[in-house]
Every structure is written in structure tokens, then in C-alpha cells.
Amino acid sequence: MAGDSKPEVIESANVAAATAKPSFGARVARHFKRWWWVYIIALIVIVLVVVLPVVYVAYPKEAQHIVNDSNLTVTSMIISDPSPSSFDLHQLQVIGSNSSFHPTFYSFSAAISLLGSAVFTHVQVPQFNGHNGVVIDVNQRANLTNETAFAEFCKAAIMNEQFPLNVYGKPQLKEGSLPKTTVTYNKTAMVTGLNKLSGFDLVDMSIGTNNTDGTNAKGTVYIPNPSDISIAVGNLTLNLEVNNTDIGQAFIYDLTIKPGNNTVPMTANVSTLTVASMLGNYPDYMIPIDITGNSSIYNNQPLLYIEEALASLKLQVQLNVTQALGG
């Protein structure tokens, strides 16, 4: 009998090799490799959603806010070489701003007017940096677009202690790497005027002289100008009256009224017979003479806007007849 030996049982198992689980980094890389274009689109959308409102909404609003919060001060205005339709303008103005942003303002055309009145000229404002205290120098020939409006400006400048000068334009500005944006520049500067030439005086006058221009009197007048405005008015003819009675005319040649004290020569044609007939009403021989503008001529051309402004101004001086006649 064969031995009781059990047959050897051999168990074979087909064990499938377990596939190794991908790492987190590998899964992320595979995800991005598959869906990268989705993330690029999402990033672009996010950038556009954030940046576009800043560039096209917040930035223009901030730029306009900077302009609105600034102020304008005119420190000098020189009007020279006038003609009926134009004049040379040299004007200095200072920009005041408390903003921490200092954008570049590109050159722009500005409309100039009295506040609330028609525009009388346009000037080209040069490029400037918008920091506090920047001085803008405008120096050019200004063509009149409305002579009536300029006459009103001249009248306001001569008749008032202060008058409002408006500057309006649509400049482009740029801050740093941001794009250009257009703002509205609408500023009014309070400008010191000539205050009716208050203090105008007849320094001296001699009647009975034979002057080269054919007149029979000459003298000196004092013209104060408290403003920062210098204005060329040319050859002036002035009407002289006493209590609405005409006694003659006075002439001032090549006159420019500059800031400060102006002492200038004057000639006159005075009706001595008319003056003599009035002396009975003035025992001290001090006659009050009213002076009004008649005409303004520059380079043989009448300046109607100056004439209109001077016509609204009435000055009065005291004439010492005794001294004027050499007594």
C-alpha cells in the first residue's frame, strides 16, 4: 500500500499588479494640460472685469475730480499791438492743486470769456504738468471771435475791482502708464481790475501854449493801475466838460496803461472864452472838469472795443485856472 502521503496542493493566484495612484501634482498637471484654455479665458475675463472699469470709469472720474478741485490764478496779462480784430496776448497763470497725482495735460484750445458771457477769443494752452504751483505761459496772437464780447471784457476790466474770467476747454491728460483721457477744464479766475482808474489826477496843466500838434494846452496826468493787466489803448481823445458844457478835448498819445503808477503827458484844446465865462461860479478858480472817452486809435485804426469801455468811464479832476494861466 502506498504510503498515506497527501498530494501537494499548489495554489496559484493571478494577482493583478495594482496600478500606482497618481500623485496630486500629476493630477493637477494633467488637469491643467487638458483645461488650460479655460483658465486662460477666465483670467482674461477677470482682468477685463477688474481693469476695464478702473481704466475707463474710475480713472476718468479721478482725472476729472483732480481738475475740478484745482484752481486758476491769473498773475499777469499783457494786451499789446491791438487791432480791430486781434491783439497780442501774453498771460501768465498759476494752477493750484492739492492732488498727489500730477498728470500731464496736453496742449489744448481754450475758449476765453467773462463768466456767463459769450466767448471773445480762443487761445492755445501749452502742455504742462499738473503739479501745484505750475505756471502756464500763454503768448500768442489772439483773434477776436466776438468784438462785442471783448468790449464787455474791456469794460469789466476797467470798471471793476475784480471780474470773473472763464477758461473752458477739453484737454487730454495722462497719468503715468495709464492711457490718455479727456477731461473738461472749466475754470473761473477772479482777476483784479483797474477799478475805474480810481485816483486819476491832473498833475499840472498850462493853458496858452503853442504845441506841435496845434493844441493850446499841455499838462501831465496820473493814471493808477492796481491790476496785473497791461493794456495798449493807442492815441486817446478825451472829451472835457464842466457841468455838461463842452470846454474842449484832451489828447494822450501812444498810451499803454501798465500795472502800477502811470504818469503821462497830455495836450489839450481848451476854449479859454468858455472857461472864463464860468469863473464867476467858482470864486476859488478851481473848476471841476469831467473827462470821458471819445476815441482810441492804434496804427491809424479805431479800437471800438476800447472806445466803448472808456465811454462808460467818467473821470473828474480839479483844474486850478490861476496856475493853468500862469498866474
Q: List pLDDT tens digits, range 271-286.
A: 999 999 999 999 999 9
Question: Which architecture characterizes domain 68-193 according to CATH?
Answer: Sandwich (2.60)
Of the candidate ranges 95-99, 157-161, 177-181, 263-267, the one whose mean pLDDT is the lowest: 177-181
Mean pLDDT for the chain? 89
User: pLDDT at position 176, please?
Assistant: 84
Q: What percent of the chain has a predicted confidence (pLDDT) above 70?
A: 84
- C-alpha separations of 12 from 9, 15, 16, 50 in Å: 10, 9, 12, 66
Compare 235 and 34 and report the one with higher pLDDT.
235
User: pLDDT at position 53, please?
Assistant: 54
The mean per-residue pLDDT over the stretch 71-95 comes to 98
> In whole angstroms, how large is the CA radius of gyration of the chain?
41
Taking the mean position of all CA atoms in its chain, how far away is CA 88?
Answer: 15
DSSP state of 212: T
As a whole number of angstroms, the distance between CA 87 and CA 159 comes to 21
User: pLDDT at position 57, please?
Assistant: 58
Identify whether the C-beta of residue 173 lies closer than 8 Å to the C-beta of residue 103: yes
The mean per-residue pLDDT over the stretch 182-195 comes to 97
Same fold, 68-193 and 196-324: yes
Q: Which of 225, 157, 146, 149 is nearest to 191 (CA)?
A: 157
Report residue 49's pLDDT band, with 50, 70 and 90 as the boundaries: low
User: pLDDT at position 54, please?
Assistant: 52
User: pLDDT at position 178, please?
Assistant: 84
User: pLDDT at position 233, please?
Assistant: 97
As a whole number of angstroms, the distance between CA 128 and CA 172 comes to 11
CATH number listed for the domain at residues 196-324:
2.60.40
The mean per-residue pLDDT over the stretch 175-202 comes to 95
User: pLDDT at position 114, please?
Assistant: 98
Strand 71-80 versus strand 229-242 pairing type? parallel
Q: Domain limits of the chain?
A: 68-193, 196-324
User: pLDDT at position 162, please?
Assistant: 98
User: pLDDT at position 327, please?
Assistant: 55
As a whole number of angstroms, the distance between CA 17 and CA 108 comes to 80
Report residue 40's pLDDT band, with 50, 70 and 90 as the boundaries: confident
As a whole number of angstroms, the distance between CA 278 and CA 14 comes to 145
User: pLDDT at position 11, please?
Assistant: 52
User: pLDDT at position 62, please?
Assistant: 85
- Rounded to 5 degrees, φ, ψ at 252 are -125, 125
The mean per-residue pLDDT over the stretch 58-74 comes to 90
pTM for the predicted model, two decimal places: 0.82
Q: Which of 199, 308, 209, 295 is nearest to 249 (CA)?
A: 295
DSSP secondary structure of 10-33: ------PPPPPPPPHHHHHHHHHH
pLDDT of 19 higher than 90: no
DSSP helix/strand/coil, 211: coil
User: pLDDT at position 287, please?
Assistant: 97
pLDDT of 43 higher than 90: no
As a whole number of angstroms, the distance between CA 133 and CA 250 comes to 45
pLDDT of 33 higher than 90: no
The mean per-residue pLDDT over the stretch 95-113 comes to 94
As a whole number of angstroms, the distance between CA 136 and CA 126 comes to 7
Q: List pLDDT tens digits, range 207-258.
A: 988 899 999 999 999 999 999 999 999 999 999 999 999 999 999 999 999 9
As a whole number of angstroms, the distance between CA 33 and CA 95 comes to 57
What the block records as the C-alpha cell of 234 is: 493807442
311: Cβ–Cβ under 8 A, 6 or more apart, which residues? 292, 293
pLDDT of 25 higher than 60: yes
- C-alpha separations of 4 from 7, 11, 279 in Å: 9, 21, 175
pLDDT of 20 higher than 70: no
Report residue 101's pLDDT band, with 50, 70 and 90 as the boundaries: confident
